[in-house]
Amino acid sequence: NSLWNAILQAYASNRHKAEAEKIYYEMPLWNVFSWNYMVMLYCNSSEFDKAQGFVSTMPVKDIVTWTALLAGHARAGHVKLAKTIFDTMPEHNVVSWNAMINVYGTNGDLKNAESLFNSVMREKDIVSHTSMIQAFAQNNDLHGAVRTFERMPYRDIVSWTTMITTYAQYGDVDSAKDMFNSMPQRNLVTWTAMIQAYCSNGFLEEAKITMDKLPLWSITLGNVLLQGYAENGYVELAKQVFDRMEEKDIVTWTSMVSAHAQNLDLVEAEKIFYEMPEWSQIAWNALLAAYARTGKLERVRRTFEMVPEKE
């Protein structure tokens, strides 16, 4: 049974809906784990009606079911629904509280995040503290973020990396670098965060030097460098990075379209756009914005017609 569930999980978390449903109906026995995987599947593919309907047919629901629904709605930006689920679920634990801190934090409600954290939660873990750091960081309270980091009982690589990003967002690259240097271990995400910290603050040389020290490579890293060059006005260098990347993802392509578009180089932007293996909503938007800014209203209209899924 756990073997079936493991397969179901693999399909569900990779959003292979058809395969997941097939496994679900083929497996000999369901339990709350299997049901929860299905809830996650529907949430991850933004089919909330289906998720909701599925939940209402489940003979057993547990706190994981509710938290998965809560987090799913939160990810999709359904803040009120997320809060309603939180308020009506039969019990809370550290995971559901953490999820709710995130909802509050990413939606500008620092007050409620803090009161959950300070007054309601009787148990807190590393995730609680890290989520609270983020809540402060996203709501214009660098000191709150630093204070939380300094006071937390244990830190892990995620909390350290969060601080790198936080300092970088506030333009304090030196402190970001201090974090990077003082943390006990680093992984690829850490390095990428540090390089992004340099790039977004205009320290391209430092970014390049740091990257050369790193024996690893990833598409995200290439994307960071590409965007770093582009947003600092070096579209040519961005294009060089782009051309050298053997593997590209949708972000790579979109970043390159957007780099040209923001440079108002419509010819190059379109060229990359038509070479893209699939079109992202964001790439469409980048093109539209460039047409609009150059006064090509007719092209805006025609392109707008072509956008498959309009937001």
Closest distance to RNA from the beta carbon of 230 (Å): 8
Q: Is-contact 191 210, C-beta < 8 A?
A: yes
List, as own/partner pairs, every contact residues 268-277 make where C-beta atoms lie below 8 angstroms and the sequence separation is at least 24, other chains included: 276/250, 277/253
Closest distance to RNA from the beta carbon of 166 (Å): 8
Q: Is 14 in the site for RNA (CB under 7 A)?
A: no
At residue 89, φ and ψ (nearest 5 deg) are -70, 145
Q: Is 289 in the site for RNA (CB under 7 A)?
A: yes
Residue 174 vs 176, nearer CB to RNA: 176
Taking residues 198 to 217 in sequence order and writing x for each that binds RNA by CB under 7 A, - otherwise, the string is --------------------
Closest distance to RNA from the beta carbon of 300 (Å): 12
Q: Is 33 in the site for RNA (CB under 7 A)?
A: yes
3-state secondary structure 19-87: HHHHHHHHCCCCCHHHHHHHHHHHHHCCCHHHHHHHHHHCCCCCHHHHHHHHHHHHHCCCHHHHHHHHH
Q: Which of 85, 164, 94 is nearest to 129 (CA)?
A: 94
Roughly how many angstroms between the first and final C-alpha of the chain, as a whole number? 42
- Please identify which residue in 54, 149, 223, 235 interacts with RNA, judged by CB under 7 A: 223
Closest distance to RNA from the beta carbon of 43 (Å): 9
- Please identify which residue in 139, 148, 196, 210 interacts with RNA, judged by CB under 7 A: 196
Q: Taking contact as CB under 7 A, which single stretch among the options 96-104, 112-120, 233-241, 267-275 is the one that binds RNA?
A: 96-104
Q: How far apart are CA 128 and CA 132, in angstroms?
A: 6
- Please identify which residue in 19, 21, 47, 62 interacts with RNA, judged by CB under 7 A: 62
Number of residues that bind RNA (CB under 7 A): 70
Q: Which of 248, 211, 247, 246 is nearest to 228 (CA)?
A: 211
Residue 180 vs 305, nearer CB to RNA: 180
Q: Is-contact 132 143, C-beta < 8 A?
A: no
Q: Is 241 in the site for RNA (CB under 7 A)?
A: no
Q: Is-contact 213 231, C-beta < 8 A?
A: no
Closest distance to RNA from the beta carbon of 18 (Å): 20
- Please identify which residue in 107, 139, 165, 175 interacts with RNA, judged by CB under 7 A: 165
* Residue 46 backbone class (left: φ over 0; alpha: ψ -120 to 50; beta: rest): left
For residues 243-262, which are near RNA according to CB under 7 A?
A: 250-251, 254-255, 258, 262
Residue 218 vs 232, nearer CB to RNA: 218
Q: Taking contact as CB under 7 A, which single stretch among the options 22-30, 88-96, 206-214, 234-242 is the one that binds RNA?
A: 88-96
Q: Is 115 in the site for RNA (CB under 7 A)?
A: no
| 196-206 burial code (b ≥16 CB/10 A, e <16) | bbbbbbebbeb
Three-state secondary-structure class, residue 126: helix
Q: Is-contact 20 38, C-beta < 8 A?
A: yes
Q: Is 10 in the site for RNA (CB under 7 A)?
A: no
- Contact positions vs RNA (CB under 7 A): 1-2, 5-6, 9, 31-34, 36-37, 40, 62-65, 67-68, 70-71, 93-96, 98-99, 102, 126-128, 130-131, 134, 156-159, 161-162, 164-165, 187-190, 192-193, 196, 218-221, 223-224, 227, 231, 250-251, 254-255, 258, 262, 280-283, 285-286, 289, 311
